[in-house]
Chains A and B, each alone.
Chain A
Amino acid sequence: MTTALPLKKPDRPEEPVPAPPAAAARERRAARRRRSVREHLTAYGFLCAAVLLFALFSWWPIIRNVLLSFQHVNFATGSTWAGLANFEKLFGDPLLATAWRNTALFTAYALVLGFFVPFLTAVLLNEFRHARAYFRILVYLPVMLPPVVVALMWKWFYDPGPGLLNEVLRGLHLPTSQWLDSSATSLVSLVIVSTWANMGTATLIYLAALQTIPGELYEAAELDGANLWQRLRHVTVPQTRFVLLVLMLLQIVATMQVFTEPYVMTGGGPEDSTVTVMFLVYRYAFVYNDFGTASALSLLLLLVLAAFSALYLRATRSAKED
């Protein structure tokens, strides 16, 4: 989740323009032009490796994804145009609706948990005058763990028998759960893992945003008789509105691509309750070797995500205008 890019207008190259007269000037201009050709070439030299790699692994794949969606991909005999056959196949797959439903549910749950929990955590931590470094390390520690490690660890914690979670629930005299083993709770269980592992990033970003709120605003609100709740609603939230919105959109884009947790922890089960869109893309491409249909599904996902990205761009732009 490290994308962020309010597009800053790059500075225009500034040519120093001195204007001395006559032949000496012409001479100098010619020299500058020679130097400037060389400078441009040097600059392109500095850029060429990056441009080449972007072309190969970013720009061309973006275009190719669209092309592949309309092709039957075959390594041996070469690919052929397929018209809309891939999309027809896709929409004939009963799992497609399930995958979108699961992805939407995962994103929605992740939003409820992964959006409010970090914000409230940050608000709380910002009030503390002690142990701040400890809290910061604590919430960020899971972010540093490899996602596969997190998934395998939690798979063990979720064990309905000797697992940590049910043991804690029994200790608190609460009802235990089947967690990943029941299609009713599997998706929520994955959301809990993903939130546990990722909330540190959002918490620290919110914390930084909270620290930029001028204290006078709180004092002024207080003079107007605002209580704690009103100060939170009318000072804290509006002051961090931009960061909240940006992180919300980034989180939607990130969680809609969820793959590792279902792949490692549930394999899509039980009863397809954790089959996500990316999981289905993976299955089409690397289990069924049907790259065309996999690309068609990727394209659908890209279009949905692009809509959220466009919202994100609009949000950053309107925040600039404020």
Chain B
Amino acid sequence: MAASTRTLVRPAVLRTRKGRLIYWSVLALALALFTVAFLVPLYWAATGAMKSPTELAQNPPTYVPSEWHPENYARAWREMDLTRYFLNTVLLAGGAWLIQLAVQVPAAYALSKLRPRFGNVVLGLMLVTLMMPATALLVPVYLTVVDVPLINRNLINSPSAVWLPAAANAFNIYILKNFFDRVPDELLDAARIDGAGPFGTMWRIVLPLSRPILAVVSILSVVTAWKDFLWPLLVLPDPARQPLSVFLQRVAQDTPLNSLVAGLVMASLPLIALFLVFQRQIVAGLGAGSLKG
């Protein structure tokens, strides 16, 4: 956004001495307030993990560790066997991501470009599910996973219990379809004349053009899977298969505080890194639901 855009405050006011004084003091105050509100808790956790147990229990607490124990992170990693739970989380998030792309991209492409008969009905039925809050459907989806109709399999403790329900996501199909709608049909006709089949057209023409929306959907699905708690808690009762969030909650009571906090910090780092790298795509994902009307 250009800095010259007119907003609530009159630009002329900002050029006066008094206006500038107010502007800078409000800015400084906001900077201080926001840093305290959003960064200090993270600082508190990151340094708390490096304090000794006695220092952590001390009242009043210390703002800067009196003794630094960065090795707490390595020890916590080892003692809590975090390698296993990171790998579990990566398996769940990665699998959910791949299955979502494999299911949702062709579906959105069919609804947008191949347009079969009753395609609109299918789209409508999918969009209706957006009105059904996922959490409130916990019980019937759980019972379906316990005994999947048609194949009569129990998916409890299998990663597919997380992957498959995640793929039934109408929001992703909706934003993918909206994007595909804007790819001109002439491009597809040209590809067809060149002898490309429907799959080849999608794969070689439409997908390369759709990188921005694929990035948005990918990040949404990975982040959602990484953050998820209640669903994996229910369908992965085997402690050896649980993702980080379920594991950390389970051991929170019996873990020394500094190790637990170290675990919390390390469990968040991948998402924070992802955010700093893909900030633009993530923010674009917020607006993707065409909230602007």
The interface of chain A, by Cβ under 8 A from chain B, is 2-8, 10-11, 13, 39-40, 42-44, 46-47, 49-51, 53-54, 56-62, 64-65, 68, 73, 75, 123-131, 134-142, 144-149, 151-154, 156-157, 161-164, 167, 170, 196, 201, 204-205, 208-213, 215-216, 218-219, 222, 228, 231-232, 235-236, 242-243, 246-247, 253-254, 256-257, 259-260, 263-264, 278, 281-282, 285-286, 291, 294-295, 298, 301-302, 305-306, 309, 313, 316, 319-320
Contact = CB atoms under 8 A, between A and B. Distances in A.
Interface residues of B, number: 118
Given A2-B220, A162-B59, A309 B3 contact: no
A218 B291 contact: no
Given A53-B168, A236-B8, A302 B133 contact: yes
B264 A243 contact: no
Given A53-B103, A136-B283, A146-B267, 15 more contacts: A5-B130, A44-B110, A50-B106, A68-B140, A129-B3, A135-B34, A137-B275, A140-B282, A140-B283, A147-B229, A162-B58, A196-B38, A212-B292, A222-B10, A285-B142
A144 B6 contact: no
Contacts of B287: 205, 208
The SS class assigned to the A binding surface is helix
Nearest to A139: B38
A305 B136 contact: yes
A128 B61 contact: no
A50 B107 contact: yes
A47 B39 contact: no
Given A138-B38, A149-B268, A306-B131, A61 B136 contact: no
B264 A126 contact: no
B142 to A, nearest CB: 7
B84 interface: no
B289 A146 contact: no
Contacts of B267: 146, 149
Contact of A139 (B34, B111, B142): B34
B38 A43 contact: no
A97 to B, nearest CB: 19
Interface string B117-142: 10110111111011111011111111
B164 interface: yes
A246 B37 CA distance: 27
A2 B289 contact: yes
B143 A51 contact: no
A167 B60 contact: yes
A82 to B, nearest CB: 15
Contacts of A211: 1, 5
B261 A58 contact: no
B257 interface: yes
Contacts of A263: 230
B64 interface: no
A253 B116 contact: no
B126 A54 contact: yes
A135 B22 CA distance: 19
Contacts of B27: 128, 130-131
Interface stretch (B41-49, B65-73, B74-82): B41-49
Interface in B236-293: 244-246, 248-249, 252, 257, 260-261, 264, 267-268, 271-272, 274-276, 279, 282-283, 285-287, 289-293
